[in-house]
Structure 1
Amino acid sequence: MLRDDVYRRLRDAIVDGTLEPGEQLRDQELAVWLGVSRTPVREALLRLQQAGLVAARPGRSTTVASLDARAVRDAQSVVASLHELAVREAVGLLTDDDLDRMRAANTRFDAALRSGDPDAALEADDELHAVPVVAAGNAAVAAVLEQYTPVLRRVERLRFASLSGRGSVALHARLIDLCAQGDTEAAAKVSFETWQTLEPLLDALTNDAEHLAAQGD
């Protein structure tokens, strides 16, 4: 659907930094840029606001939301828990083809990190984690992840721009092996752990926010 395509294009532009934090978003300008009418743009901006990627002030301006440490931590808690649940429900349902897709995605993820391509790394990471989510078939889990994962992806992009994300390659491999072995609880635990690797960046965000607040006092 057109509205979903517009939403994804604006979401991706925010995640990859094309639309920068604090940048003003005018629906007419965005409509021209995307080659659509203003209606799907307005609908997309509302969805992006609900996801925490856009900040709207009534009667004033709509802007790209800044990276807020509290909002990112909240999203991390939700995303980690739901991926853990999805893996728990998916183990036993995953086919050999599913596992092969996860392995292939992890190989691409590793290559993207080595070449310093954060966008390709994010795409491969999304593909890998999507396999158990789809296999689980839990529509509620998929819907909530669709809303809150982009909040984390803005932070992850910073990590994947360097080799600091290399630890995730081994975690992914461990996750796939445990799924193949049918070890539900261990696989679910590792899935949760993969989303905890953001902690150093979240700590840095928190420290930056506290530093700015102290300067303003």
Structure 2
Amino acid sequence: MPVPQGRGLVARSLLREDAYRAIRDAIVDGTLAPGERLNDSDLVEWLGVSRTPVREALARLEQAGLVQTKPGRYTIVSPLDVRAVRNAHSVTAAMHELAVREALPNLSTAELEAMAEANARFADALRRNDADAATTADDDFHCVLVTASANHAIREVLERYTPVLRRLERLRFSSLSGRASVAQHDQIIALCKAGDVEGAAAATRANWETLAPLIDNLADDDRASDPSATVTPT
């Protein structure tokens, strides 16, 4: 799919972070498809900014594994890579588990209510088969605990690795396989209310582990398309 048409999608005062997020989100939601070439001039016109924030954004996206660059030749949206997804999955699950452990002792009633509200939006989005809204609501649900942990290192790690998973996770939220997450979120909330740190941490990890079958399917697809390929298990 080509870069969306139109000028000045965001304000001229766009910062580097805004450019990064705009391109990242277009990759995650599939607007910019795997393997698609990214031309600086097209991105500049689309976002309505100079080349500098675009190039800085692409450099960050390359570090995050979302784009691949051959200097002087091309920049493309990275295909979904099994090894990268597995690595991101294990790191992300561990960070969310740690966030629960650090957040729960001081979790407020307002934060528990925010989690419940986000899960209600999540359930509604799934009923409407709105994968984008479901992804946003799921982010909001987990973000409550990440914010409450007050651990900036957790947030920085998740900022880098979560987008890799979100590209895959949108497939789950577009199908019936995502419905189980609503009940899992409810369980996490209940365990947090009860002050059960170990239980809430385990339930959170279990929630993120539900991505494992999608990753396995991705590996199977890779093998089917390239019988000579091997995938290192983790």
> TM class, shorter-chain normalised?
over 0.9
Output the TM-score relative to the length of structure 2: 0.90
Question: 1:59: how far off?
Answer: 2.9
Deviations 1:90-149 (A, max 9, x none): 001111010000000001101101110000000000000000100001011100100100
The SS at the match of 2:68 is: strand
With 207-216 and 42-51 compared, the bigger mean Cα shift is at 207-216
- The residue aligned with 2:174 is 161
Do 1:86 and 1:132's aligned partners in 2 also have CA atoms closer than 8 Å?
Answer: yes
Q: Which runs of 5+ in 2 are unaligned?
A: 1-13, 230-234
Q: 1:81 aligns with which of 94, 97, 101?
A: 94
Equivalences for 1:1-217 in 2 at 5 Å? 2-214=15-227
Runs of 4+ that moved beyond 2 A: none
In the TM superposition, what is the alpha-carbon distance from 1:17 to its structure 2 partner? Answer: 0.6
Q: What number of residue pairs does the alignment pair up?
A: 216
Structure number having the greater helix percentage: 1
Is the contact made by 1:102 and 1:176 (CA closer than 8 Å) also made in structure 2?
yes
Residue identity opposite 1:181 in structure 2: A
Which structure 1 residue ranges, 5 or more long, are not aligned?
A: none
SS in structure 2 of the partner of residue 148 of structure 1:
helix
SS of match in other structure, 2:227: helix
Classify the secondary structure of the residue corresponding to 1:156.
helix
> Given residue 102 of structure 1, which amino acid in structure 2 is its aligned partner?
M
CA distance in 2, matches of 1:63, 1:179: 42
Equivalent-residue separation in structure 1 for 2:228 and 2:129 (angstroms): 34
Percentage identity across paired residues of the two chains: 58
Tell which has more relative contact order, 1 or 2 (C-alpha 8 A, sep 6+).
Answer: 1
Q: What's the offset of the Cα at 1:215?
A: 7.1
- The letter for the 1-side match of 2:74 is S
